[in-house]
Amino acid sequence: MTFRIRVPEVITLTEYDRVPSNAVTFSRRNIYKRDRFTCQYCGGQPGSEELTLDHVQPRSRGGTSTWENCVLACLECNKRKADRTPTEARMPLRKAPVRPTWKPLYARHDVRIESWSKFLSEAYWTVELDE
């Protein structure tokens, strides 16, 4: 079964010159894009399969899922850091995570979906994560 859907990468803006600060969707794909598939602790680029989302301030200690608190970490660094802050773990971030400022109006794209499982995996990458 083949069907076609339009996957909005970002929220559509109605007022072009007033870009809201939350314009870029907080999604897995965009976090990977922002961090350039690079572990923010060791600088490694092990490939997307080996990268995870790390909460800088751990979730168990009140850390939120936001642009400023989520970075890519390789499996090894994620395991090593565990439920600690970068300071406690002595694992400084290579750079402070920020909300991207890409131009959202040009970020739409069409995605051809060939199967439900591919659709689900597309959703895995593009769905807005809970903050």
**Sequence letter at residue 32:** Y
Taking CB under 5 A as the binding criterion, the range among 2-10, 14-22, 75-83, 98-106 that sits at the site for Zn ion is 75-83
Within 6-45, which residues bind Zn ion (CB under 5 A)? 39, 41-42, 44
Residue placing its CB nearer to Zn ion in the complex, 42 or 53: 42
Residues 6 or more apart in contact with residue 102 via CB below 8 angstroms? 24
**Shortest Cβ distance from residue 74 to Zn ion (Å)?**
3
Site for Zn ion in 45-74 (CB under 5 A): 74
Give the span between the Cα atoms of 41 and 24, in whole angstroms.
Answer: 24
Tell me how far apart the alpha carbons of residues 39 and 35 are, in angstroms, rounded to a whole number: 8
Angle subtended at Cα 88 by Cα 82 and Cα 93, rounded to the nearest 5 degrees: 80
What is the nearest approach in angstroms of Zn ion to the Cβ of residue 112?
Answer: 34
Binding site for Zn ion (CB under 5 A): 39, 41-42, 44, 74, 77
